[in-house]
Amino acid sequence: MNYSYTQAIEYILNLPKFTIKHPLSHTKEFIKRLGNPAFEKRIIHIAGTNGKGSTCRYMETLLLKRGSKVGSFFSPHLIKVNERIRINGIDISDEDFTNAFNQVLPIALEMEEEKLGHPSFFEFLFGIFLKAMYSSPVEYLILETGLGGRLDATNIFSKPIITIITSIGLDHTAILGDTISEIANEKAGIIMPNVPVIFDGSNIEANKVIEKVANEKNSNTYLSLHHKINKIKDLLYIENSENKLDENYISNGNEEVIVPNDFALLNTFIQQLKLKQKGIYQKNNLSLAIAAIYLIFGKEDFLHNKIKYKNVLENFVFPGRMEEIKPHIFVDGAHNPEAIRGFVETIKDLDTYEKAKQIIIFSSLKDKDYKTMIYNLLKDKIFDYFILTEIPDGSRTLSVSIIEETFYNTINSIYNSKEKTPQVISTKNIRDAFAKGEKYIQEKNDKCDLYIIGSLYLVGDIKQLL
């Protein structure tokens, strides 16, 4: 029987209840039985702890603007599962999703019947994506890893045209390892022999691992190195190659960095952009996408499309990342310590920082490093008011009482007895938390900003309330 769209979504959302994480060999067998669909497409593979979603969206935006046809595989979704599969910048239709589902389901059931194991939630969606892309006239596939990289279901292509690794921090430590080096090694698993890799160079420990893996696989490496200049992040590119005939020195204010002339051109382009969306880290993510576009298509193509790129990038908004959903109300998916640090630096960098009170609605999940996240929120003492809530997610749910206790313990360890401490209130209900935040803004006559952070699941729940 063929499933309806509603039945298909119900089936998929129930998969985590009875499937397990499989080895990559299982994914390869699953996709092979589907006919290895879309393997003729040009693959752009992106991994990282933070920023991979934004980098994927930037890549999608730039490719579409130059006239390329693009399929994108993202995770997680905020409201609707269809958001994970995009064709030329538009979420897959319910009809196309259902058609692909009904092609994938018999293979999944066949594997289950043969005691090979039913594909997991992520594997199943990836199968739907590839089936949908096979019947779509797209040229490029942008793949965002779900978790890690080396063993991720997306890591089945031996010859992508380019790989990108965004910033690396501590997240999913129970699965990926509890050191930066271990996590970087998992992310570097997407690097393929003789395929160029562009990576964020903000963590020296991670850099060493990525460069080692790239050297072992004879992959050219391109480093995005960011540093502070005034109130924006400046990006410099370094090409690690033996050809040093066309290099010059550019000062970054503290030291001289060797930068090939062509990459200095990109640096200037990025510096001059005035991005619409808040987020001090966004230019870091954009730099990776711009470098990839340059490497894939070359200098002449970049110069030909530069004005078009500028116009589309300056109007780009990525849902759930410092997104203004109502006047003075922003949602951001920061969900690990590094991302929270980036969020705090963004707030401190805003022109409104000294003028407006900053209010936070916060929650997290049990398997996240919520204690460090809370410490990073509080240590700079810039927020006046916190509303804590609880994300209903079964065994991953973190009780709001535990969040509240952690907040008070952290406040007591940071603030001295003479300092004014932030106000903290709690409510288990997300709708109630949002209502309290809106009421506070109204009472202050819009002279404050409300930020909702801590989890993409929280962001999705809030957006569904609108």
Q: Is the distance from CB of 61 to CB of 314 less than 8 angstroms?
A: no
Rg (CA), the chain: 22
pLDDT at 171: 63
**Mean pLDDT, residues 36-60:** 93
**Mean pLDDT, residues 253-271:** 58
pLDDT at 233: 30
445 versus 443: the higher-pLDDT residue is: 443
| Whole-number Cα distances in Å, 431 to 319, 341, 388, 453 | 20, 26, 12, 15
Nearest to residue 323, comparing CAs of 312, 311, 331? 331
Token output for 282: 């966004």
Q: What is the pLDDT of residues 309-341, one digit of tens each?
A: 999 999 988 888 888 999 989 999 888 898 899
Give dist(CA 375, CA 357) in Å, integer: 19
Give dist(CA 462, CA 450) in Å, integer: 13
Burial 375-406 (b: 16+ CB within 10 A, else e): bbbbeeeebbbbbbbbbeeeeeebebeebeeb
pLDDT at 346: 85
pLDDT at 261: 52
pLDDT at 262: 59
pLDDT at 225: 55
Contacts within 8 Å (CB) and 24+ apart, 392-396: 393/365, 393/457, 395/366, 396/365, 396/366, 396/367
Q: What is the pLDDT of residues 110-152, one digit of tens each?
A: 999 999 999 999 999 999 999 999 989 999 999 999 888 899 9
Band (pLDDT 50/70/90 cuts) for residue 435 is: very high
Token output for 393: 């997610």
Nearest to residue 426, comparing CAs of 394, 391, 386, 455? 386
pLDDT at 235: 35
Average pLDDT value for the chain:
85
List all residues 6 or more positions away from 12 whose beta carbon is below 8 Å from its beta carbon. 81, 101, 121, 124, 125
Nearest to residue 433, comparing CAs of 387, 401, 384, 465? 387
Q: Is the distance from CB of 52 to CB of 59 less than 8 angstroms?
A: no
Global pTM reads 0.84
Q: Would the pLDDT of 169 be above 70?
A: yes
DSSP string, 7-53: HHHHHHHTGGGT-----HHHHHHHHHHTT-TTTTSEEEEEE-SBSHH
List all residues 6 or more positions away from 133 whose beta carbon is below 8 Å from its beta carbon. 37, 38, 41, 71, 87, 141
pLDDT at 352: 57
Band (pLDDT 50/70/90 cuts) for residue 373 is: very high
pLDDT at 100: 97
Q: Would the pLDDT of 205 be above 70?
A: yes
pLDDT at 445: 75
Instruction: Give the chain's domains with CATH numbers.
Output: 5-313 (3.40.1190.10), 323-465 (3.90.190.20)
Q: Is the distance from CB of 232 to CB of 283 less than 8 angstroms?
A: yes
